[in-house]
Amino acid sequence: MGGTDKTSWLEGLEHDADAPFAETDPANAYTETLGAGWTDTTVTPLGEAKTVLSTSARADRTQIAIGRAIEEDGAAAMEDPVTGWLVVIKGPGMGRSMQIGAGLNTLGRSDEERVPMPFGDPQISSHDHLRIIYDDESRSFMAVPGTGKNVSRMNGQIIAMPVTLENYATIQLTKQTAVRFVAFCNAGFDWADLAGDGEGK
State the Cα–Cα distance between residues 67 and 56, nearest whole angstrom.
Answer: 25
Check residue 80 and give its pLDDT. Answer: 84
How far is C-alpha 41 from the geometric centre of its chain's CA atoms? 33
Phi-psi region of 49 (alpha: psi -120 to 50; beta: other; left: phi over 0): beta
Question: 192-199 contacts: CB < 8 A, separation 24 or more?
Answer: 192/66, 192/67, 192/68, 192/69, 192/70, 192/136, 193/67, 194/75, 195/67, 195/69, 195/70, 195/73, 195/75, 196/69, 197/67, 197/68, 197/69, 197/70
Domains observed in the chain: 49-201 (2.60.200.20)
Phi-psi region of 178 (alpha: psi -120 to 50; beta: other; left: phi over 0): beta
Check residue 155 and give its pLDDT. Answer: 86
User: What are the distances in angstroms from CA 144 to CA 65, 76, 89, 130?
Assistant: 21, 27, 20, 6
Check residue 50 and give its pLDDT. Answer: 39
Name which of 136, 127, 80, 76 is nearest 106 in CA terms: 127
State the Cα–Cα distance between residues 58 and 110, nearest whole angstrom.
Answer: 21
Tens-digit pLDDT profile for the chain (201 aa)? 555 555 444 455 444 445 454 554 555 554 444 444 444 444 444 444 333 333 334 556 556 655 554 445 444 456 789 999 999 999 999 999 999 999 999 999 999 999 999 999 999 999 999 999 999 999 999 999 999 999 999 988 999 999 999 999 999 999 999 999 999 999 999 998 886 654 544
**Burial class for 150, CB neighbours closer than 10 Å (0-12, 13-18, 19+):** middle
Q: 175: number of CA atoms within 13 Å, CB side?
A: 3
Name which of 123, 121, 130 is nearest 94 in CA terms: 121
Check residue 163 and give its pLDDT. Answer: 97
User: What are the distances in angstroms from CA 190 to CA 98, 143, 186, 195?
Assistant: 19, 19, 6, 10
How far is C-alpha 16 from the geometric centre of its chain's CA atoms? 55
Residue 99: strand pairing partners: 85
